[in-house]
Amino acid sequence: MTASLILEQLLNGVQFGVMIFLMAAGLTLVFGVMGLINLAHGSLYMIGAFASAAVAAFTGSFFWGLAASLAAAAAAGVLVEALVMRRLYDRDHLDQVLATFALILIFSEGTRWVFGSFPLYLDIPEVLSGAVPIPGGGQYPVYRLCIIFVGLAVGVLLYWLIHHTRLGIRIRAGENDREMIDALGVNISKLYTAVFAIGAALAGLAGAMVGAIQSVQVGMGEPVLILAFVVIVIGGIGSIRGAFIGSLLVGVTDTMGRFLLPEFFRLFFDPAGATAAGSAIASMAIYLLMAVVLIFRPSGLFGARRVES
């Protein structure tokens, strides 16, 4: 095990983390502002990936695909918000969970209907293929570095959006007291649609970027959705900063756990047993992390210390 291998895994962890962040940021915004738990967020991720794969195959350009993923996911988000979510804001979480679960069924099967059950593949663009040397003598793919960069850029952009723009002021006000800002003349309905579209576009972006690393298939969104939930629980609901730090924690813990734990167990057990035990425990590492955070901070690292009624 060399230093460059560890660095490479660490970078993989960060890349995984920023990708989860793109999902978690949208989820946490939607929950923070509208009080809505949206299971169908994973479907928006899937829609982004499929749109990008289809458009990239049609035009031959990865970047057109990327643009299409943003547009398609945002459009799907707006549609879902206007048709379904709007009726759910005043309902309890149970109704929201069930309705968005129903949306997952519709989106997943609908996508299967249109694109078939076989996975699509999205090629990494020529410009971003190849690798760069990293300290310690290893090589690291440029494309993955790009994902990290885009994730960080989105993080900064969201921070700026929320803390330094009028829309951000309204979003924060909406989190605190939606009736009051409604009374002050802000069109809350438009605000909700905007927030939902932003979250959806980020999910679509994540789907499109990951689509070039993994295969694009039905059901790809749900595992990421659940990771985003873990992140939100760790970071605290409604907090972009919490989502960012939580995502990096989860991404690095998961990747490093899968890499290091089998090695670690090899010190004590025979190789086959060590791999089995190591990978089994590594697959639970992030949930254990979540449990530990919960024990000490039940409302997450950056969550407001208020009890939900």
Binding mask 104-143 for another protein (x = CB under 8 A): xxx-xxx-xx------------------------------
- What's the closest the beta carbon of residue 94 comes to another protein, in angstroms? 5
Using CA atoms, how far apart are residues 178 and 173, in angstroms rounded to an integer? 7
Min separation Cβ 188 and another protein, Å: 20
Contact 242, 299 (CB under 8 A): no
Q: Which of residues 211-240 bind another protein (CB under 8 A)?
A: 222-223, 226, 229-230, 232-233, 237
3-state secondary structure of 25: helix
Residue 173 contacts another protein per CB under 8 A:
no
The amino acid present at 80, given as its one-letter code, is V
Q: Does 267 bind another protein (CB under 8 A)?
A: no
Output helix, strand, coil percentages for the chain, rounded to the nearest 5.
75, 5, 20
Residue 195 CB, nearest distance to another protein (Å)? 17
**Which region among 149-157, 158-166, 263-271, 290-298 touches another protein (by CB under 8 A)?**
290-298
| By the rule CB under 8 A, 271 interacts with another protein | no
Shortest distance, CB of residue 41 to another protein, whole angstroms? 12
- Name which position in 1, 90, 94, 270 contacts another protein (CB under 8 A): 94
Tokens of 75: 């459009």
CB of 270 to another protein, least distance (A): 14
**Among the listed residues 145, 238, 236, the one whose alpha carbon sits nearest the alpha carbon of residue 199:** 238
102 versus 157: smaller Cβ distance to another protein: 102
269: alpha, beta or left? (left if phi > 0; alpha if psi -120 to 50): beta
In the complex, what is the shortest distance from the CB of residue 262 to another protein, in angstroms, rounded to a whole number?
11
The beta-strand segments (E) located in 11-153 are 131-134, 138-141
For another protein, give the closer residue by CB, 126 or 308: 308
Among 58, 149, 160, 287, indicate the residue that binds another protein (CB under 8 A).
287
* Interface characters, 22-61, with another protein (x: CB under 8 A): ---------x-----x------------------------
Tokens of 213: 């690393």
172 sits near another protein (criterion: CB under 8 A): no
256 CB neighbour count, 10 Å cutoff: 17
* Contact of 107 with 40, CB cutoff 8 Å: yes
Q: What is the DSSP letter of 207?
A: H
Tell me if 294 contacts another protein by CB under 8 A.
yes
Q: What contacts 262, CB < 8 A, 6 or more positions away?
A: 274, 275, 277, 278, 279, 282
Task: Supply 74's token pair.
Answer: 């945002």
d(CA 48, CA 65): 9
Q: C-alpha distances in angstroms, 73 versus 37, 254, 288, 291?
A: 18, 27, 32, 32
Q: Can you state the angle between helices 285-296 and 221-235, rounded to 10 degrees?
A: 30
Q: How many residues bind another protein (CB under 8 A)?
A: 47
Binding site for another protein (CB under 8 A): 31, 37, 84, 87-88, 93-95, 97-99, 101-106, 108-110, 112-113, 222-223, 226, 229-230, 232-233, 237, 276, 279-280, 282-284, 287, 290-291, 294-295, 298-300, 307-309
